[in-house]
Amino acid sequence: MASEDREETGRIEAFSDGVFAIAITLLVLTLQVPDVHGGLWHALLDEWPQFAGYLTSFAIIGIMWVNHHSMFRTIVRSDRVLLFLNLLLLLWTALLPFPTNLIARYLGDGGTDAAVAEAVYSANLTLAAIAFSLVWIHAVRGGRLIASPLSPKAERQAIVRFSVGTLVYAATIGISFLSPGAALAIQFVVAAYYVFEQVAPSSS
């Protein structure tokens, strides 16, 4: 039974890794080649929003992959709800190239369109962070899907960390309407920070 459960989380991890690897590599398709005759260098510089969006999404999917693995070192059993919540997480991950495209196309325009593009991007990140939290909360609650129950302190710490991430991304939805560029910069910094300091408690 235990080994079958183990195999079950192995399946989820392998499938999720596949989706993470494909989504992070597909991001390159959001980069458009400028169509100019002369002045290619300046045309590329003018397209900085698409490179900023590419870098940010790459860092975010990269850190999500790292954290997903950390999380599944603690989670050793699976059930239907976990499967469903993990699919929800993959949905928001696989969708990310779309709002990255919105940023690439509209961030340089400024105005309301830039704000809407960045707000949709921020909403996508927030939904991914919520799905991440739901996977974790479902897995540790009652200790059913983990090897040994977390101490109350570790459980509290983990919930604080997940909440902080979710709140920061939710805040960038609002910040998008003040300054889309600032919202994107905050998202990049948060992702880059988390590459060094993972959120899942098992790795602390």
List interacting residues with a copy of itself (CB under 8 A). 11, 14-15, 17-29, 31, 33, 35-41, 44, 54-55, 58-59, 62, 65-66, 69, 80, 83-84, 87, 90-91, 94-98, 101-102, 105-106, 109, 111-113, 116-117, 120, 195-196, 198
Nearer to a copy of itself (CB atom), residue 93 or residue 166: 93
Query: What string of H, E and C letters represents the secondary structure of 32-83?
Result: CCCCCCCCHHHHHHHCHHHHHHHHHHHHHHHHHHHHHHHHHHHECCCCHHHH
Residues 56 and 189: their CA atoms lie apart, in Å, by 9
Q: How far is the CB of 83 from a copy of itself (least distance, A)?
A: 6
Q: How far is the CB of 31 from a copy of itself (least distance, A)?
A: 5
Given the structure tokens 């989820």, which residue do they identify? 12
- What is the number of other CB atoms lying within 10 angstroms of the CB of residue 175? 21
Q: How far is the CB of 152 from a copy of itself (least distance, A)?
A: 25
Nearer to a copy of itself (CB atom), residue 142 or residue 196: 196
89: left (phi over 0), alpha (psi -120 to 50) or beta: alpha
Nearer to a copy of itself (CB atom), residue 21 or residue 167: 21
Q: Quick one: tokens of 177?
A: 């309407």
Residues 30 and 97 sit within 8 Å (Cβ to Cβ): yes
Among 148, 143, 156, 161, CA closest to 67:
161
Residues 189 and 168 sit within 8 Å (Cβ to Cβ): no
Nearer to a copy of itself (CB atom), residue 167 or residue 177: 177
Q: How far is the CB of 147 from a copy of itself (least distance, A)?
A: 13
Q: How far is the CB of 184 from a copy of itself (least distance, A)?
A: 16
Nearer to a copy of itself (CB atom), residue 43 or residue 167: 43
Q: How far is the CB of 50 from a copy of itself (least distance, A)?
A: 10
Residues 77 and 96: their CA atoms lie apart, in Å, by 28
Nearer to a copy of itself (CB atom), residue 14 or residue 153: 14
